[in-house]
Structures are given as C-alpha cells and as structure tokens.
Amino acid sequence: MTATTGGAPGRGGPARLARRHGWTAGIYVLLLVLTIFWRSQTSVKWGPFDVQSLVIDALPLCFAACAQSIVIISGGIDLSVGSMMSLANVVSAKYMLHMSFDEALLFSLAVVAGGALVGAITGFTIVITRVADIIVTLAMLFVLGGVALAVLEVPGGGAPARFQALVSVDTVLTAWFPAVLLILFGAVAVLWLTVRRARIGLAIYAVGSNRPAAYLAGVDVKRTRVLAYAYSGAFAALGGLAFTGASGLGDPNAGSIYTLNSVAAAVLGGVSLLGGVGGLVGPIAAAFVLTLVKTLMILRGVDQNYAQVFQGSLIVLVVMIGGLAIRQKGKGS
Amino acid sequence: MTATVSLLEARDLAKSYGPVQALRSADLVIEPGEVHALLGANGAGKSTLVKVLTGVISADHGTVLVNGKPARIGSPAQAARIGLAPVFQDPALVPDLTISQNMRLTGTSSAAVEHELRALDLAVDFSDQARDVPLPMQRMIDLARALTRDPALLLLDEITAALPSDLAERVFAVMQRSRERGRSVLFITHRLKEVIASCDRATILRDGRAVATMAPREGGEERIVEHMLGPEAARASVAAAEQGAGAADVRPAAPAGEAPALKVDGLFGGRVRNMSFELRRGEILGVAALEGQGQDDLFAVLSGGQSPSGGEIRAAGRVLKARHPYDSIRAGVVLVPADRLHALLPQRSVRENVAAPRYNSFSRWGPINMRDEGRRVREAEQALHIDTRAARQVRRLSGGNQQKVTIARWLANGFTTMLCFDPTRGIDVGTKRQIYVLLRRLADDGAAILFFSSELTEFPLVCDRVLTLFGGEITADLPGAAADEATLLRAMHGLAESQAGT
C-alpha cells in the first residue's frame, strides 16, 4: 500500500497559483479599474504627467508599506515608520542642500544604512527587553520624532536640483515610465527579492507564521526579528528620501501620516496581521490604490473629511471581502 | 558494556518550573545501536528530559556526555550539530511555508528528504503549504528530515500517538533500520506494546527520577507498570482504595426514577469516539486517561466550548445542544478548568470573579443587586474557606485559593453538574485535601461531578466510579474503590484484561 497523502494530482498549476497570489492579483485589478475610472473622470487630456504625479504622490507610502509589511510578516508591528521617515527626510534635506548630485547619492546610501541601523536597534530593544513590540515602536515613534525636530525645527533645507529631478521629472524609455519607479522596484529587488527565497527571508516568514515551530526547526528567532526591523528602518529611510526628492524640502512632521497608512497599505496588500503571510508586491499596489482614491476624491471635489471616511470604509470592505473569499475557498476544498 | 563509550550519558539532570519540579534527578544512558524507550506516567518528566537533551530548555543542573565528552546543548540547532535529531510531538513545520521552503529554512536538501520519504513508501508534493498537509504526514516529513542528517541519536517524542497504524509500522521499520546501522533511537511513548515489540531497553521515570532501566521483553507490561507506580505507591493505593470503599458504604443511593444529571449517548467530537455514560446526582465520576486520549475534547464538548460531531448530551433529562459555554452554564453544566487563569479575571477582585457569570443574563441588566450579590459571594467564600486577604486582585492569591474561587463562582450561581478538569494541578497537598472534601460535600448536597485528574492516586480517594479512556473510547468502568493505580494504569494503556469491566 502506497500512501500518497498530499500528492493528489490536479492540485498544482494555475489553481494553486490563483490561490497563493489571488489577493495580489486582485489588488492590481482594483488598481487598474481605478486608473480607468480616473482617466474617464479627467476632463483635460490625461497623459504621462498625470501618471508621474501619481507616482510621486504614492512613492513615500510605497516605501512605508514595504517597511511595515516586512515587520508584520515577521509577526511584529512597527509604529515608528512615520518618524523614521521624518528623520531621514530632515537629515537628508539639511545636509544635502549644498551637496553635488554625486555626493547626494552617496549620502542617500548612508541615510538608508543609518535607517537600517536604527531599525536594528529598535528590534534589538524588543528582543532583549521582551517588552511588547507595539510599545517599543510606539516609544521609538516619539524618540525619532523628537530627534527629527532637533535636527530641523521648522520645514527647510533642500536637495540638489538634479536629485529632485531624479525623483520628480526623469523618465525611462517612454514618458509614461517615471524613473523613480525603477528606483522603487530596484530597491525591492536588491533588498528583498534577493533574500525572499533564501534562508533569512524564509526565516522571517517562519518566525511570523509559528514562532515555536521556527525555533524547534533551528531558526535563530531573535536575530531574525532584529533583521526584520532593520529592513523596516532601511525602507522607511528610503521613504523619507523619496519625500525629500519629491518636495525638495525637509519637514520634521512629513512622515507622521505614514505610520498608520503603512499598516493600511500592508493589510490591503494581502499581508496578514497574524504574520507569516504576504509579500511586498501587493502592498506597493495597495499604496497606489490608497493614493489614487485620495486623488479621485479631490478630483470629484469630495470634502476632505468624507474622503477619509471613504478611504477607511474601502479598507474594511476590501479586507472583509478578501477574508470571505478565502473562507469560502477553504470550505470548498 | 563498561569498556565501550556510551553514545549519550545524562547524569543527575534537574529542572523546575517555579515551584514544580519536573525533573529531580534523571539519569539516562544510551548505547550505540540500541532502541531505547523512555517511559513514565503523566508528569513523570519525559518531555522535560527530551527538551533538555535537545536544547529547547536548559537544565538547572546535571551533566550530559555525548560520546564520553561533556556537551553543552544550548539550542535545537546545536543539538543537531552533535548528532541529536529530535522529532517533537508538535511538528516543527512552519504552516505558512511550503514543504520545500521548510526544508530550505533548516538547510536540508529537499531531494534528500524526498529520498527518505520514498524509502518509507511515502510521496509528498513539496510545493504544498505545510498547513495543507495532514498532521500525520507532517510528522513523517519531520521524521524524514531528521533522518537526512543521519543522526547518531534519533529522539522520537510520542511520534506514534497521532499516527494511523500503517504509518506507525513505518516508524518501527525506521527504528529497526537505525539499529542495524549502529545508530540509536530514543523512543517516548505511552503504548507499552510498542515498547515490548521494538525496544532493546527501557528507562522508566517516576516523579522526575529514573527509577529503573530494564529490558522490556523480560517481565513485560506488568513489570513496567510496577516500576511506573513504585512499590510504595502500589501499597498506598491499596490503602486508599480501602478508605474509599469505607466512604462508599455511607453514601445515600440516588432516588430511583430521577433523570441522570448528565447522560452522554454515542458522543463523537475531536478525539472522542462513541462515548456513552451516565452521571447521577450525588455521584463523582472519575475520568482517567493518559495525555491526549480525548479527555480534553470530552470536557470541551460538555462545557460548550466545542461542538460535538455526533451523539447526544442530556442534562437533567433535557437535550443539551451547546453552541457556546453560556448554553451549558444555563443548563447547569459548569466547568472548572485546570488552568485557573483561563477561568478567572486575574486583575479583578474575588467578588467580581465569583459574580461574573451573573453579569451575563439579560434580566440582570440595569443596576446590579449589590446586597444579594455580596451575600452570595460571602457565603461561597465562607463555605470554601477562601483566604481573602489578597481579595482585591485574584492573581495575587495562591493557586489553591484561585481554584477555590473558580469553584465558589459556581457555588454562588447554582449548577447541577460540575466538570472538574484536573482541579488540583499544581496545588499544595493541604489545599488538595480541602478540595477533595469540598467535592464530596457538593456531591452529598446533590451535585453531579465529572472529575478528571492526572494524578491517579486521587481517583480512589475522590470518586464513586472511574471511567478510563484510551484512543477516545471508554475502556473500563470501575468502581471507585477498585480504581487503584495499577488497575487504572493498565486500563489507561488499553490493555486487554481490564476491558472486562466495560
């Protein structure tokens, strides 16, 4: 008698692909639908410029969503994402002001590395003190926010014109493809996709999915959690730099709206708050969806306050429908 | 034997969790090329010993020698490096990763695991997520992963407990093959038949001490059970049985014609398989079982925490279909769980804890009748001798007093059937005795009590009748007086001769 448990034929292929990546696909479809709607709503000629401005608008949230998603996947939460972005923003704006373009690029790398270091310190604090992650990162929200204010009390500073152009003007190949998208995808590819399928990446998923099982399987749980926060710090720093490039300004409060929006984008993008599930591709699309919804609201002249109500409702609705769909599928199989 | 170096030698290992001494002084010697069984009743320290040996927890003191050299085992990964490969009770597969990702996570080659599985005559789709793979199969994958490391010592912690017999056979084949290749296996199980059939030697733990190392084929089940009990305990249990028998004489017979407080008919649910029994008013019915034989599910189903998949429950003659604990409570069936902190609101006062179920009913919305509540709570407190000096926060009470609060809660609110799941776990001897007396008094006042305990000595002291469970089924129905440890232990292991009682 040969046991073939789990080896039943006909379960692989497209069906499984749809099951595993259904959510991400769904959020891209939503983005597409919204884009078509957006186009139909614009009376003047809709063109590359509109796409570019949307991308610039969404970019900081894209990075914030990545930062948050990695930590949530590892089974934690990071409430310091916004302050980390503010800090990266004011530090870059203050010191880049009189730099050349090349120096500014080098300095950006240093800011990202610094962000990773601060994130690692946050993670280390959580792991060593065993204080709940939500409390430690909440404390870091205030600490980093305070440091950002100390660096630059009022909005100011700036960045080399060439650096700003890189974020807000440059395009690649066609006028429809802003150069910053390449930076976003490049950062995700270099920082995340390289480790996603390697042992450290799998360890982040494992620790978020079932911590005791991961430990019994020989995963260094503490190191993995610290690593997740380091990633968060690096992506948040990139978000701050994106803000600098887009606005040409340092603002110590720039990041404050991104802390909770990053959680929203992560959840909308298919990351489970229970940990262990999701990726970065979905949350990036979700960041665009959230930004586009805001743009559409402004376009249609909806009161800003109602726009927020609508945005919140959309998140609940999408996550609820997604959850129901998953439950139904679970019953079906 | 003395000339050769033992593969693993553990000396005088001790580990305590707070006041509970899980291991007092455990010794274990495993020779190369032997299949060694680790036996003991619940709480004898088996799992703790395995966890120490595999670096999941660290011992308070004691030494471990591997191949004659002292070894420091600080983590599961470190244990793996020195050739100790465990397969734990809970599979160490991460649910959200695919099987092949799980293998990569631990640096194991999927091809090698697939090869081992094929040797076991099993096939698995490695691109399946672990959560979609049935639990028995997960264990086999875990086993195959351990085998790819070609470990000097394979530790199998109750691996056969949840395996269907055809898969269990394959595990025995693995043990046989390891022995032939000069590798050793440490096999932890509750099934004595398996031990006799496939183990070279057995070490028996009792109360955190290794009391004997023997060849299980010589003497068989009887001698193993004897060692698990200890000679004193065997004698003590006889004495206790006599006491219990004396108490049974003065018990009033239940009025004839009255519906039983609890009647279970052909119940299925979780591990519970086709259970039927009756519990009369004034009776304390014991449930004795080894870990994971369905007692958890039985209590969960009766208390409304879990839905049965078949069968019928009648409480005082009326059909009970509980979809929520509240339904059971309203039918008079209440639960006293082992973990007090599951039942209590640790930050709140004794009074609020005792009165908590009363806040639930709609008729009591609006202002609470404080005087009535206060009186009931005070009465319950006095009846149970609860030490109320730290009454402002229940978490500051001792374990025994906390347990009394959970019982007082039902005393103040009324019930007909009380389900006590290991109510004396981790409680000092004096308070334990008080709880025995209390349960008897409740029964004398007409309550029906279903009583599970992991301490076998309690059954003859407390119970009128004892059911033993094995594999989700009732294997014996013994009078309390006859429920001495040896009899219980045999019935709990599903041994044939005791099934005559059913």
| pLDDT tens profile B360-394 | 655 555 666 677 778 888 888 887 777 766 667 77
Provide the angle, in degrees to the nearest 10, between the axes of the packed helices A48-73 and A179-188: 10
The answer to whether B65 faces chain A, any CB pair under 8 Å, is: no
Which of A131-145, B156-170, B298-312 is least confident?
B156-170
With cut-offs at 50, 70 and 90, classify the pLDDT of residue B251.
very low
Show the tokens assigned to A98. Answer: 């009189």
With cut-offs at 50, 70 and 90, classify the pLDDT of residue B430.
low
pLDDT tops 50 at residue B499: no
Residues A16 and A139: their CA atoms lie apart, in Å, by 42
Q: Who has greater pLDDT, B255 or B191?
A: B191
Q: Where are the beta strands (DSSP E) in A46-205?
A: none
Residue B387, phi-psi category: left (phi > 0), alpha (psi -120 to 50), beta (remainder): beta
pLDDT at residue B344 in the model: 83
Partner-chain residue, chosen from B76, B80, B137, that has the shortest CB–CB distance to A5: B137
Whether B123 and A4 lie within 8 Å, measured CB to CB: yes
Closest-CA residue of B relative to A74 is: B96
pLDDT at residue A8 in the model: 39
Closest-CA residue of B relative to A209 is: B96
Whether A216 and B137 lie within 8 Å, measured CB to CB: no
Whether B105 and A11 lie within 8 Å, measured CB to CB: no
Closest-CA residue of A relative to B128 is: A6
Whether the CB-CB separation of B387 and B305 falls below 8 Å is answered with: no
Residues A53 and A59: their CA atoms lie apart, in Å, by 10
B 115-144 → A contacts, CB under 8 A: 121-125, 127-128, 132-134, 136-137
Partner-chain residue, chosen from A1, A214, A220, that has the shortest CB–CB distance to B94: A214
Whether A277 and B96 lie within 8 Å, measured CB to CB: yes
Give percent above pLDDT 70 in chain B: 87
Q: Pairing between strand B201-206 and B209-214?
A: antiparallel
Helix (H, G, I), strand (E, B) or coil at B186: strand
Write down the residue that tokens 């120096």 correspond to.
Answer: A103
pLDDT at residue A33 in the model: 93
CB pairs A-B closer than 8 Å:
100
Residues of chain B with Cβ-Cβ distance to A220 below 8 Å are 77
Give percent above pLDDT 90 in chain B: 20
With cut-offs at 50, 70 and 90, classify the pLDDT of residue B481.
confident
Residues of chain A with Cβ-Cβ distance to B86 below 8 Å are 216
pLDDT at residue A333 in the model: 36
Residues B273 and B471: their CA atoms lie apart, in Å, by 8
Contacts of B96 (CB under 8 A, 6+ apart): A205, A206, A208, A209, A210, A276, A277, B129, B130, B131
Residues of chain B with Cβ-Cβ distance to A213 below 8 Å are 90-95
pLDDT tops 90 at residue B153: yes
How far A110 CA lies from chain B's nearest CA (Å)? 31
The answer to whether B76 faces chain A, any CB pair under 8 Å, is: yes
pLDDT at residue B237 in the model: 46
How far A203 CA lies from chain B's nearest CA (Å)? 6
Whether the CB-CB separation of B391 and B351 falls below 8 Å is answered with: yes
Partner-chain residue, chosen from A3, A219, A276, that has the shortest CB–CB distance to B105: A219
Residues of chain B with Cβ-Cβ distance to A198 below 8 Å are 104
Provide the angle, in degrees to the nearest 10, between the axes of the packed helices A133-151 and A101-129: 150
pLDDT tops 70 at residue A6: no
Whether A205 and B97 lie within 8 Å, measured CB to CB: yes
Q: From residue B368, how far is each of B309, B352, B353, B360, B406 by CA, in Å?
A: 39, 12, 15, 11, 21
Q: From residue B303, how far is each of A5, B338, B421 by CA, in Å?
A: 34, 14, 11
pLDDT at residue B3 in the model: 53
Residues of chain A with Cβ-Cβ distance to B107 below 8 Å are 199
Partner-chain residue, chosen from B96, B105, B166, that has the shortest CB–CB distance to A217: B105
Candidates A200, A216, A224: best to mutate against B (most CBs of B within 10 A) is A216
Q: Who has greater pLDDT, A181 or B20?
A: A181
Mean pLDDT of B203-210: 86
The answer to whether B94 faces chain A, any CB pair under 8 Å, is: yes
Whether B90 and A208 lie within 8 Å, measured CB to CB: no
Whether the CB-CB separation of A278 and A291 falls below 8 Å is answered with: no
Which of A171-185, A196-210, B365-379 is least confident?
B365-379
pLDDT at residue A280 in the model: 93
Whether B105 and A212 lie within 8 Å, measured CB to CB: no
Of the candidates A95, A245, A257, the one whose C-alpha atom is nearest the C-alpha of residue A183 is A245
Whether the CB-CB separation of A95 and A221 falls below 8 Å is answered with: no
Residues of chain B with Cβ-Cβ distance to A274 below 8 Å are none
Whether A5 and B124 lie within 8 Å, measured CB to CB: yes
Of the candidates B45, B46, B50, the one whose C-alpha atom is nearest the C-alpha of residue B73 is B50
Distance of CA B228 to the CA centre of its chain: 16
Residues of chain A with Cβ-Cβ distance to B91 below 8 Å are 213
Whether the CB-CB separation of B424 and B473 falls below 8 Å is answered with: no
Residues A320 and A134: their CA atoms lie apart, in Å, by 24
pLDDT at residue B471 in the model: 85
Residues of chain B with Cβ-Cβ distance to A214 below 8 Å are 94, 105
Show the tokens assigned to B35. Answer: 């299949």
Buried b (16+ CB within 10 A) or exposed e, B363-388: eeeeeeeeeebeebbeebbebbebeb
Q: Who has greater pLDDT, B42 or B268?
A: B268
With cut-offs at 50, 70 and 90, classify the pLDDT of residue B246.
very low
Please provide the average confidence, as pLDDT, over all residues in chain A: 87
With cut-offs at 50, 70 and 90, classify the pLDDT of residue B2.
very low
Rg for chain B, CA atoms, rounded: 25
Whether A6 and B94 lie within 8 Å, measured CB to CB: no
Mean pLDDT of B25-47: 86
pLDDT tops 80 at residue B399: no
